[in-house]
Amino acid sequence: MQFKRRKSPVATLRTAPAFEHIVTEASDSFLWRLDDYPWERNVWNFHPEYEIHLLRKSSGVVLVGDHIGEFGPGYLTIVGGGLPHDWVTATQPGELIKGRDIVLQFDAERLRGSAGLLPELRELEPFLERSLRGMVFHGATALQGADLMEQMGEVSGLSRLWIFLRLVDLLAKTDEYELLSSPDFSPTLDAASLDIIQRTLTYLFQHFAEDLKLPDVAGLAGMTESTFSRFFSKNTGNSFSDHLAKLRLWQACKLLADTDIPITDICFQVGYMNISNFNRAFMRKHRMTPSSYRRLSRQRRTQPLQASQ
């Protein structure tokens, strides 16, 4: 399988910066927004504001710091200030997913500054510290948090502020969460570096099923192989090969769970050249064989139906 080069590859990876400037209305304490997907801000980006993010529709890959995972409808996260993040859904040309995301962005320093008048806000400090690594919420917390995020779109002013305080209180007190990024993740947060990384991540997501090689992708970034390898690891927290493997195994899991495609065919569809390498990589990641994963995913799907009968 040949690596498909684009025209002017360096220009492809070196375009607009990925720093997102958040503008909050003077009458609001925070920003609430309903987003379609894709649009120009759905990129690997960072900003000083904290972000609570609800995926209302579709599925895909979540990138938070050095974390690579899978999201589906109802996926609720908070990302602390300065932590790069992106939620990527594979779409067809011209496809638009209306209202995929609800985004809530707020300035943590405003909350800290308000603690002089409202000392109860000091209780949020441990939560704000945890959020610097990114958090995903599960169970009843995710359901209740998603409902509160939806309610905010129906009100404004003090009513919206009241729901916001209920939301951060819920997320601060729950134990139904998982930390995402590693504590030692420290990317180079300059616009040029983040932009090249964002373009590279987009390219890898679009082409991970191909026979990608490190020297080819390094060339797209206009770097030598060794320079790009260090650059990529520094700014994503994953080596090039680990990142590629995580994308391929994410797609493999979707195909195993949602289709009846034979496992050997899935192996080649997601970019592995032989079944032995695929099985070894899958075992390292999931501690089970692909066939066991398929069987378990189907059991989980049928259990709610059996319980309701």
CA distance 265 to 275: 9
Q: Which two tokens stand for residue 42?
A: 């759905």
Q: How far apart are CA 231 and CA 225, in angstroms?
A: 10
Domains of the chain are 10-179 (2.60.120.280), 239-302 (1.10.10.60)
Alpha helices in the chain (DSSP H): 9-13, 108-114, 125-131, 139-152, 157-173, 191-207, 214-220, 225-236, 240-258, 263-269, 275-286, 290-308
Question: Are residues 47 and 79 in contact, defined by beta-carbon separation less than 8 angstroms?
Answer: no
**CA dihedral for 167, 169, 170, 175, sign (positive or negative):** positive
> What does the pLDDT look like over 26-78, one tens digit per residue?
567 899 999 999 987 777 888 899 999 999 999 999 999 999 999 999 999 99
Residues 114-172: tens digit of each pLDDT: 999 999 999 999 999 999 999 999 999 999 999 999 999 999 999 999 999 999 999 99
Sheet strands side by side (includes 97-106): 30-37, 97-106, 50-55, 75-79, 135-137, 177-179
pLDDT tens string 72-116: 999 999 999 999 999 999 888 899 999 999 999 999 999 999 999
